[in-house]
């Protein structure tokens, strides 16, 4: 992807971007929209003091305030159950700190690193595994000196083949700052792939302006991983923003978190994954929900997740099937935890569960 020049159209898009509706970030704002009731405001106030809240206008418009089990509301509206403490909850459940040699870098695997330039998001998921380290009360992003040190680390480590921009949501950076980061990575010869993890096209598709897309131009191969959990999130506006990214030569993948009450059934995931593939977005990961504090009500068992994946295997094209993965607590890495198709006797199971011999 060649570096584009800024145009008057880009600047006009940024002016429009600055006029986007502000997200709902307080209990009074949520109550005014009918998204929280008056019966548990005291508990919810305790939740919002501990964990950040932001709900964009686009996502708020998708919520049915009369449905207590609305799958969009469950993901973004604060819930008193977030105050419950469970023995299995872990602060920093995937062990970012264990593998952070310098501020803003997580180097868990030899050939790739996370670069975390920003600690804020357009919307705060109630199940986020970084929920204790993101939000408006955190440092908004890396300082100039911290970013320089993080890039120096990548330059020194020639084994790094892929850089993953995450956060927070890296697409909340200004196009100028994003372009600076992409340009710096362009100059590092051993970095061949840049991957961007984002929720922004779902949370606020109008912010995916042409100047933002232009800022992602790179001589490297660029992938964008879209976080989406329910088919209702894929509105025409969301899909149009993804189409703009794809038209710029960015390969789109998706990641989904398996969430109790939101998408823990084969039919919901089938609709989601089919719709993604129909719009040039390859489902990449289905994450088992991490053990972040206050998220126990979202977690399924591994056996439940495996049963869902077994059902999907027989119903979906392989193009639509993500890998079901678990981040081993404590920073020990991500592993596939999908169903087994070879039993202890050496027989092969088909998607209906029938056993077949396979002599070797």
Q: Which residues have a catalytic role annotated?
A: 108-109, 112, 121, 125, 128, 130, 290, 327, 334
CA gap 257, 324 in Å, rounded: 9
Task: Compute the Cα dihedral for 341, 346, 350, 355 and give only its sign.
Answer: negative
- Write down the residue that tokens 């126990």 correspond to: 296
CA gap 155, 14 in Å, rounded: 32
DSSP state letter for 321: P
What tokens does 338 get?
């999908």
CA gap 191, 156 in Å, rounded: 11
CA gap 21, 44 in Å, rounded: 24
In the chain, which ranges are E strands?
105-109, 112-115, 162-165, 193-198, 221-227, 251-258, 281-288, 323-327, 334-336, 348-349, 355-356
Q: Return the closest-CA partner of residue 259 out of 70, 46, 54, 26.
A: 70
Do residues 141 and 121 make contact, with C-beta atoms less than 8 angstroms apart?
no
CA gap 131, 125 in Å, rounded: 8
Q: How far from 139 is each of 99, 102, 143, 262, 303, CA to CA, in Å?
A: 20, 16, 9, 31, 39
Strand partners, 194: 163, 222
């Amino acid at each position: 992807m060649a570096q584009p020049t800024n145009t008057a159209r880009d600047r006009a898009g940024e002016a429009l971007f600055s006029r986007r509706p502000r997200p709902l970030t307080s209990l009074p704002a949520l109550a005014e929209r009918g998204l929280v009731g008056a019966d548990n405001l005291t508990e919810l106030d305790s939740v919002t003091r501990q964990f950040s809240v932001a709900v964009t206008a686009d996502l708020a418009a998708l919520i049915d305030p009369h449905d207590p089990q609305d799958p969009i509301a469950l993901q973004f509206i604060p819930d008193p159950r977030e105050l419950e403490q469970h023995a299995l909850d872990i602060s920093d459940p995937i062990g970012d700190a264990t593998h952070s040699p310098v501020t803003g870098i997580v180097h868990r695997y030899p050939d790739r690193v996370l670069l975390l330039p920003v600690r804020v998001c357009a919307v705060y998921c109630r199940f986020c595994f970084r929920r204790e380290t993101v939000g408006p009360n955190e440092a908004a992003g890396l300082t100039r000196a911290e970013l320089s040190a993080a890039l120096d680390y990548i330059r020194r480590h020639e084994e790094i083949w892929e850089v993953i921009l995450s956060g927070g949501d890296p697409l909340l950076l200004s196009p100028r700052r994003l372009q600076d980061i992409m340009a710096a990575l362009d100059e590092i010869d051993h970095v061949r792939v840049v991957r961007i993890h984002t929720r922004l096209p779902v949370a606020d598709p109008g912010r995916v302006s042409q100047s933002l897309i232009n800022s992602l131009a790179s001589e490297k191969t660029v992938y964008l991983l879209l976080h989406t959990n329910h088919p209702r999130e894929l509105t025409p506006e969301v899909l149009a923003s993804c189409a703009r990214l794809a038209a710029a030569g960015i390969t789109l993948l998706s990641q989904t978190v398996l969430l109790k009450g939101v998408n823990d059934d084969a039919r919901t995931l089938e609709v989601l994954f089919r719709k993604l593939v129909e719009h040039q977005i390859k489902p990449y990961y289905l994450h088992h929900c991490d053990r972040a504090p206050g998220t126990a009500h979202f977690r399924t068992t591994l056996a439940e997740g495996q049963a869902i994946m077994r059902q999907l295997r027989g119903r979906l094209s392989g193009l639509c099937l993500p890998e079901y993965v678990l981040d081993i607590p404590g920073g020990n890495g991500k592993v596939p935890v999908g169903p087994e198709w070879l039993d202890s006797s050496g027989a092969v199971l088909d998607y209906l569960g029938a056993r077949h011999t396979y002599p070797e």
